């Protein structure tokens, strides 16, 4: 494809993308396919001769699109939304065209310096003090792995090669226990701390668990607190965790993968109290801040510690300015890095802090409204507090036992999702099957939330 042919096809593709974003809400949100259906339509061997762009696009429309789950759909209430947005998509196009590998300052000075700038903008926007420095990681899972590795290194520097433990609540994300395993601390080095009735970590039990470990010669290397757990957006008591971490010399990592964007709102800041005392913090602009995958914001207080844990400095990467610049290849796991700062820059400048705050407030308001509808219906019940824009609930008709209730709600959710107008997913809270209504897609309006509630009520009365 020559640059001129690229120009023609890129214009066609931009039209395709704009149509998609405009019309995605009128598509079924989930595909109607069975396993293997898409693959069976694809050739088993690669093409020997090049094919035209028109042929490839026709197959995109006819073979691939019917198998897509539409995350940008305004009826998206599943998991947590993974947002994109027009400015972010434009930046992604630009990043692809530039094709820069931004591992070092030397390999693209502007990419490094823009990342320094936008991460500092983001730090200010979420109210972190300037004792924190930011770096973009691909995912929160990777950021948490980096935090656990940093904690491991710090504990080993202080205590030598002794057994280490990492603590997080039973509701903490699976990436925490996975990070402990991947960091080589052993399958049993993760301690799942019980939670209270709000699903937040119990600091009294945490302290007892640490004392018990210490009595057996196990060092509490790291405590992971969560602001906005995956199942119910519970908020761990970060000030209490910071007290414990300081008393025992543990690294405090805070995971606010989804809810972290809410810190842009002054009214949500109380949920983030104590964060300034953490050693590291991650939240995902690729969830609730209008920025395409991958873009995780990782903030640390002790940058030299991070670099000690992650740097590799082979001769072939050394460059003249190494002593004066930031080389982000030493701030994470991968060597190669995309120019991710560009999309954050496009997003922050296009919407401004005000535009982002307006979107967040709208989602919080829609969740408040949905929660009120659930509360007003006698046969529905809320299953957890909802500090942000996730509502956890179930249908609870009288006279049904718990096992039956689980089956009933599972069937109810299946009927709602079978409409393919909206998509919700579930979790278990205190062992009970729970429906999650996660609001956060940038094109979602009150009408979409109201429709989800209407479908839920119709499903209850078997009209679906
Ligand atoms: N932490 C929490 C609290 C999450 O909710 C999630 C995903 O939903 C993650 C971590 C994992 O995020 P990522 O996909 O960026 O690794």
Atom of ligand 1 nearest to the CA of 138: 15
Q: Which residue has the tokens 């820069």?
A: 100
What's the confidence (pLDDT) of residue 369? 98
Summarised one tens digit per residue, pLDDT across range 107-132 is 999 999 999 999 999 999 999 999 99
| CA nearest ligand 1 atom 12, residue | 140
Atom of ligand 1 nearest to the CA of 142: 16
| CA nearest ligand 1 atom 5, residue | 230
Summarised one tens digit per residue, pLDDT across range 128-164 is 999 999 999 999 999 999 999 999 999 999 999 999 9
Whether the pLDDT of residue 445 is over 80: the answer is yes
Report how far ligand 1's centroid is from the alpha carbon of 247 (Å).
28
Residue of 174, 258, 283, 293 with the most ligand 1 atoms within 8 Å of its CB, for mutation: 258
Given CA atoms 208, 213, 217, 219 in this order, what sign does their dihedral have?
A: negative
Residue of 143, 175, 280 with the most ligand 1 atoms within 8 Å of its CB, for mutation: 175
What's the confidence (pLDDT) of residue 312? 85
Half-sphere exposure of 170 (CA within 13 A, CB side): 13
Report how far ligand 1's centroid is from the alpha carbon of 140 (Å).
5
Whether the pLDDT of residue 59 is over 90: the answer is yes
What's the confidence (pLDDT) of residue 322? 84
Summarised one tens digit per residue, pLDDT across range 309-350 is 999 888 888 888 888 999 999 999 999 999 999 999 999 999
- Helix or strand (DSSP H, E) at 448: helix 446-460
The proportion of the chain whose per-residue pLDDT surpasses 90, expressed as a percent, equals 96
Atom of ligand 1 nearest to the CA of 296: 15
Summarised one tens digit per residue, pLDDT across range 172-222 is 999 999 999 999 999 899 999 999 999 999 999 999 999 999 999 999 999
- Residue 36 tokens read as 């293997």
- Under DSSP, is residue 121 helix (H, G, I), strand (E, B) or coil? helix
On whether the CB atoms of residues 169 and 373 are closer than 8 A, the answer is no
Rounded distance between C-alpha atoms, residue 434 and residue 411, angstroms: 12
On whether the CB atoms of residues 232 and 221 are closer than 8 A, the answer is no
Beta bridge partners of 137: 296
Measured from CB, residues less than 6 Å from any atom of ligand 1 are 80, 139-141, 173, 175, 226, 229-230, 255, 257-258, 284, 296
What's the confidence (pLDDT) of residue 43? 96
Nearest to 231 by CA among 170, 171, 167: 171
| CA nearest ligand 1 atom 6, residue | 257
User: pTM for this structure?
Assistant: 0.96
Summarised one tens digit per residue, pLDDT across range 251-301 is 999 999 999 999 999 999 999 999 999 999 999 999 999 999 999 999 999
Mean of per-residue pLDDT scores for the chain: 96
């Amino acid at each position: 494809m020559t640059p001129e042919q690229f120009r023609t096809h890129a214009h066609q593709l931009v039209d395709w993308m704009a149509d998609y974003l405009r019309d995605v809400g009128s598509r079924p949100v989930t595909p109607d396919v069975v396993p293997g259906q898409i693959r069976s339509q694809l050739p088993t061997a690669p093409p020997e001769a090049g094919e035209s762009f028109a042929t490839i696009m026709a197959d995109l429309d006819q073979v691939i699109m019917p198998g897509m789950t539409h995350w940008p759909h305004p009826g998206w209430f599943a998991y947590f939304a993974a947002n994109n947005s027009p400015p972010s998509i434009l930046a992604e196009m630009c990043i692809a065209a530039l094709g820069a590998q931004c591992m070092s300052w030397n390999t693209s000075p502007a990419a490094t310096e823009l990342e320094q700038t936008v991460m500092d903008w983001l730090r200010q926007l979420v109210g972190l003090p300037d004792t924190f420095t930011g770096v973009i990681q691909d995912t929160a899972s990777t950021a948490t792995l980096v935090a656990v590795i940093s904690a491991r290194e710090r504990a080993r520097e202080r205590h030598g090669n002794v057994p280490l433990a990492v603590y997080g609540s039973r509701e903490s994300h699976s990436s925490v226990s996975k990070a402990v395993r991947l960091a080589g601390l052993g399958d049993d080095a993760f301690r799942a701390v019980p939670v209270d009735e709000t699903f937040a970590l119990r600091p009294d039990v945490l302290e007892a668990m640490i004392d018990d470990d210490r009595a057996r010669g196990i060092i509490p290397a790291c405590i992971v607190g969560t602001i906005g757990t995956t199942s119910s957006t519970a908020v761990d008591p970060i000030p209490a965790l910071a007290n414990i971490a300081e008393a025992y010399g543990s690294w405090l990592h805070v995971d606010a993968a989804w809810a972290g964007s809410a810190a842009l709102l002054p009214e949500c800041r109380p949920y983030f109290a104590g964060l300034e005392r953490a050693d590291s913090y991650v939240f995902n602009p690729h969830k609730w801040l209008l920025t395409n995958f991958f873009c995780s914001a990782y903030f640390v207080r002790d940058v030299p510690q991070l670099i000690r844990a992650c740097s590799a400095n082979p001769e072939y990467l050394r460059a003249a300015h190494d002593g004066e610049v930031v080389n982000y290849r030493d701030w994470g796991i991968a060597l190669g890095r995309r120019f991710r700062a560009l999309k954050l820059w496009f997003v922050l400048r296009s919407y401004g802090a005000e535009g982002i705050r307006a979107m967040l407030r709208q989602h919080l308001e829609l969740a408040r409204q949905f929660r009120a509808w659930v509360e007003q219906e006698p046969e529905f019940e809320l299953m957890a507090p909802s500090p942000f824009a996730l509502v956890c609930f179930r249908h609870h008709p009288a006279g049904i036992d718990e096992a039956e209730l689980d089956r009933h709600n599972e069937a109810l959710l299946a009927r709602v999702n079978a409409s393919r107008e909206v998509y919700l997913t579930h979790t278990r809270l205190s062992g009970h099957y729970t429906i999650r209504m996660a609001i956060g897609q940038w094109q979602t309006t009150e009408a979409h939330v109201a429709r989800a509630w209407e479908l839920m009520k119709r499903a209850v009365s078997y009209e679906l």
